[in-house]
Amino acid sequence: MRKGTSGISERYRTAIHIAREAGMFIKRNCGLVRSVTMKGCSNLVTDVDRRVERLIIERVRRRHAGDAVLSEECGDDGREGEYRWIIDPIDGTTNYFRSFPFFCVSIGIVQGREVKAGAICDPLRNELFHAAAGSGAFLNVKRIRVSAVSRLSESFLATGFAYGGGAHSCANIRRFERFLKASLGVRRAGSAALDLAYVACGRFDGFWEMGLHPWDTAAGWRIVEEAGGIVTRFDGTPFTLDADDILASNAHIHSHLSETLEA
Ligand code: IPD
């Protein structure tokens, strides 16, 4: 196949390969951060974020030269390719910086407005979550499905708090309290992409957050839906990558979650 002319299945394979390689890179460098800077209030970026992002983009360019790239640290590369790679080199950077073992590499591939494939690599647990549209979702080589939990009172949930506090955080603290009372438990572990992957494989039954970016959600969105889950806005309307809020679930408790978020 000629460079730059292949379709989504070739890119899906590339994404899996790169996510694994990038995962190994961040694992090797965990605890060895050389420099850290702040992007706004409480949002860290380490030299490892930048180095692994360069590695990922270099690999994408080498195999799919005409594709566009949107990545967390470099932003939009301004290209107009049919496919756009949406990259979070380390989702959970604060965790990574403090060696708290919950972070990942997240890579989504968008065609038009649809995320066609995604790969999320947790290198510490050797877990690679991945999916392509219409092909199901996988954890390494095993097919995954969302959970069957259908009662809010039995649900195990996750959320996150956008950097910088502000109105989003205040509103989410109230929601957090509501869900703490209504569910089995709520975790705030610090990596939205992994939270989504955990919904896909049934470890969590639902996840919500405000103020996320396309690189936090692109891959996870595809993986949750391929695992049988649903991803929408809080009010149940369709999710888009530029939406300001996201609600992902196993589908069974989706309306309960949406009602509680909107109450
Ligand atoms: C962050 C994580 C975190 C979420 C933040 C994100 P980053 O991504 O996903 O869970 O609460 O809103 O920005 O900055 O570590 O890639």
Q: Which residue range is the domain that position 22 belongs to?
A: 5-143
Sheet of 142-144, strands arranged across: 75-76, 68-71, 83-91, 104-111, 114-122, 127-132, 137-139, 142-144
pLDDT in tens, 11-43: 999 999 999 999 999 999 999 989 999 887 778
Of 126, 143, 160, which one is at a domain's C-terminal end? 143
Q: Taking 70 as the threshold, does the pLDDT of residue 236 lie above it?
A: yes
Does residue 17 share a domain with residue 132?
yes
Residues 222 and 242 in one domain: yes
Give the residue from 116, 143, 170 where a domain finishes.
143
CATH number at residue 221: 3.40.190.80
Between CA 76 and CA 69 the distance in angstroms is 6
Please choose from 36, 39, 90, 212 the residue to mutate so as to test ligand 1's pocket, defined by most ligand atoms within 8 A of CB. Answer: 212
Q: Is 228 in the pocket of ligand 1 (CB under 6 A)?
A: no
Q: Residue 107 is encoded by which pair of tokens? A: 């890579």
pLDDT at 167: 75
Interval 76-102 mean pLDDT? 96
Q: Contact 257/208 with Cβ under 8 angstroms?
A: yes
Query: Does residue 189's CB lie within 6 angstroms of at least one atom of ligand 1?
Result: no
Task: Answer yes or no: do 133 and 10 share one domain.
Answer: yes
Residue 2 pLDDT grade (very low, low, confident, very high; cuts 50, 70, 90): very low
Q: How far, in Å, is the centroid of ligand 1 from the Cα of 160?
A: 8
Please identify, among 143, 161, 190, the residue that sits at the C-terminal boundary of a domain.
143
* pLDDT value at 3 more than 70: no
Task: Give me the torsion for CA of 210, 39, 42, 85, rounded to 10°.
Answer: 40
pLDDT of 81 > 70? The answer is yes
**Do 176 and 111 share a structural domain?**
no
Q: Which atom of ligand 1 is nearest to the CA of 96?
A: 15
Domain match, 127 and 214 both: no
Task: For residues 180 and 88, state if they share a domain.
Answer: no
CA of 239 to the centre of ligand 1 (A): 18
Distance from the CA of 6 to the center of ligand 1, in angstroms?
A: 32
Q: Is the CB of 88 under 6 A from ligand 1?
A: yes
Percentage, residues of the chain above pLDDT 90:
89
The helix/strand count (H/E) of the chain reads as 7, 15
Is 24 in the same domain as 112? yes
Residues 136 and 180 grouped into a single domain: no
Closest residue by Cα to atom 16, ligand 1, is 91
**pLDDT, average across residues 218-241:** 98
Residues 111 and 195 grouped into a single domain: no
Tell which atom from ligand 1 comes closest to the C-alpha of 94.
15
Q: Where are the beta strands (DSSP E) in the chain?
A: 36-38, 44-46, 68-71, 75-76, 83-91, 104-111, 114-122, 127-132, 137-139, 142-144, 156-159, 185-187, 206-210, 230-232, 245-249
194 shares a domain with 218 = yes
Euclidean distance between CA atoms 178 and 108, whole angstroms: 32
pLDDT one-digit tens code per residue, 117-174: 999 999 999 999 999 999 999 999 999 999 999 999 999 999 999 876 677 788 899 9
Testing ligand 1's pocket by substitution, the residue of 74, 216, 221 carrying the most ligand atoms inside 8 A of its CB is 216
Looking at the structure, do residues 73 and 193 belong to the same domain, yes or no? no
Name the pairing type of β-strands 68-71 and 83-91. Answer: parallel
Query: What total number of domains does the chain contain?
Result: 2
The enclosing domain of 132 has a CATH number of 3.30.540.10
Mean pLDDT, rounded, for 109-117:
96
Question: Using one digit for the tens of pLDDT, what is the confidence trace for 169-185?
Answer: 888 999 999 999 999 99
The confidence score (pLDDT) of residue 208 equals: 98
Same domain, 129 and 223: no
Pocket-testing residue among 37, 48, 72, 91, ligand 1, by greatest number of atoms within 8 A of Cβ: 91
Nearest CA to ligand 1 atom 11: 160
pTM for this predicted structure: 0.96
The predicted structure's pLDDT at residue 4: 44
